[in-house]
Amino acid sequence: MDRPLDEAAFVAALDRVTAAHPAMDPLEAGLLAALDLGLPGDSRAFARTFAVEHALVLRAVAALDEAGHVTVTARDPRTQRTRYNPAAS
């Protein structure tokens, strides 16, 4: 995530996601909120920006993919960096 994060906008997006999906895991909601803000769907960048272990981000992306909230578009076999987009409605 190369551009600076607008914390207030992120919190507002996170509130919208959690209101729409109250039972969703907080990390999964954070990933969707970042996508809602137009931030790139990149597991490594998200992990680095939010100081979260990459393995946890990968697990959350997999859960979102399985639930149909995101679509995985690429995965680096060596680093496991995963790129994802919001699922088409």
pLDDT tens figures, 25-84:
999 999 999 999 988 899 999 999 999 999 999 999 999 999 999 999 999 999 999 999
Domain contains 41? yes
Q: Which of 63, 55, 59 is nearest to 87 (CA)?
A: 63
Domain contains 48? yes
Q: What is the pTM of this model?
A: 0.90
Domain CATH code at residue 64: 1.10.10
The answer to whether 33 and 4 are in contact (CB under 8 A) is: no
Domain contains 1? no
* Alpha helices (runs of H) in 2-53, residue ranges in sequence order: 7-20, 26-36, 43-50
Domain contains 2? no
Number of structural domains in the chain: 1
Domain residues for 65? Answer: 7-86
Domain contains 11? yes
